[in-house]
Structure 1
Amino acid sequence: MSGLMLQHALLVDDHPIVRLGLAALLGSHCPGVRIAEAGSLTEARAALAATPPQLTLLDINLGRGNGLQLLPELLAAGSRVLVLSIRDEASIIEQALAAGADGYLIKDAAGKELAQALAALALGQRYLAPNVAIRLAGRQGLQAPQGVDSLSARELEVFLLVAQGLGKGEMAARLGISANTVETHRQKLKQKLGADSQHALLKLALAHTGRALHTRD
C-alpha cells in the first residue's frame, strides 16, 4: 500500500449496515478501491482466496466466530490488518496486536480517525486510537502523566503523534493543521504535563503509549 493508493480491501463484519458505512468511508479515502465484504469466517476465507486484499478491516465478534482467528491467514496473504471492534478490553487489544494486527480502533471512532489510521498504515506504521493507547497504558502498569486527563481531543492527538516520532511538519500534514498550530499544541502539552523540553515530552509520550521510537523536528 503506497500512500492511500489501495486497490483491494476486505471488510469483515457480521453487520451489513456496518460494512455499508465502512465501505463508504473507505471509498471516500481511497478512490477506486475494490471492496470485498464478508460476514463470517467462512465468507472471509472465500474472499481471501479469491483476491488477497492489501488491507483488511476486521471485526472480532463474528457471530459464533472470532475474527482474530483470521489474522494469521490475512498476514500470510500480505494484508495489512486494522481491527475495528466494539471490544475495548485491554487484554483483547493486546491479543490482537500480539497476533500481528497493524492497528486497533474501537467502533465508536469517528470517520476522521479511520482516515488517520489508513494514513499511518500507508507509511508502514502501527496505529492505535487515543482511547486504545490509554487502555494499554493502564494494562501495562504505565503511569499516565499528571494532567493527561485535562488534554483536549486535539492535544491528545498531538501527544500520541509525538510518541510516533513525527516532526511538526508531519503532524501538521496528518492532522490537517499548520505547523505553527502544532507547535502551539506542543507548548500547551509541555505546560499541562510538566515537561520542560521536547525531549521530556517525548519520554512522557513513549511511557504513556509503550512505544520506543525516535523523534524528528
Structure 2
Amino acid sequence: MFGEHELKTKFIKVGDKKIHLLEESENLVRYRRDDVERIIKNNGEKLRVLPAPATGYGVRLLMVKFKEPLIVPPHDSLTGFIEAPIEIDVKVGGLSVDHFIVGREKYALYGSLEAGVICRYHVSPFYAKEPGSIGVAKLIVSNPSPDWKSLERVVIPISGTPMYYESTKAYYPLLIVTIKDHSPEVNNTGKAPREGLNMVGEGLSLPNFLMRW
C-alpha cells in the first residue's frame, strides 16, 4: 500500500479506495481512482503512495474525542494510542498526481461560536497497545499537577506536520499532552512514534497548542 510502486498494470488498495494502474502502451500508463484519471509516461520513475495529514478543506487542527475520558493520577503519566484520520498523496517524482481522503470525513467547531475554529473531527477509543487502524497517533499524557485530572479529547496541530509510515499503516508524530490546570497543552513533537518508520516531510516540532476550551 504505502511506499513505491512500479508503473505497471496492478491494483493498489488504500483503505476503502482502490488505485488501478493499466499499461496502455510500452511507456504510457493510465492511472484511475474512482472518477479520477491520469495518463503517465513511464520513464522508470516509481509511483509513491504516501500518507498526509487530515487537513481536508484546509483546517489546521485535528480534534480526537476519546470514547471514554482518561483519568490520570497526580504527578503521573499515561501512554497509549488513538485512531486518527489521514489523507493520501500520490506522487511521481516531486509532482502530486492525486490526493484523496480515506474513510469518513467529519468536521466540528472547537471553541465558542464567536472565536472557535473548524477542526477535522474523529472519535476513537484509547488503546494501551497499537491498534490495527490505517491511521494511528501515539500519545503521552502527562499530569505534573498535584491533582487528579480528566482528559476527554485532544486537539492536535496538523498543518505542516511530518507523517510516518510502514507498508500498511500511517502514523502522526509522537504527541505529548501536558495537563496544566484546566488547559492541556499539546506538543506535536515531529518525531517518529517508534523506530523503523519512513518519513514524509521534515521531522520538526510544531508550536505547542493550548486547549483553552
Report if TM-score (shorter chain) is over 0.5.
no
Larger helix proportion, structure 1 or 2?
1
Tell me which of the two structures has the higher relative contact order, counting C-alpha pairs closer than 8 angstroms and 6 or more residues apart.
2
* TM-score, length-scaled by structure 1: 0.26
Larger strand proportion, structure 1 or 2?
2
* TM-score, length-scaled by structure 2: 0.26
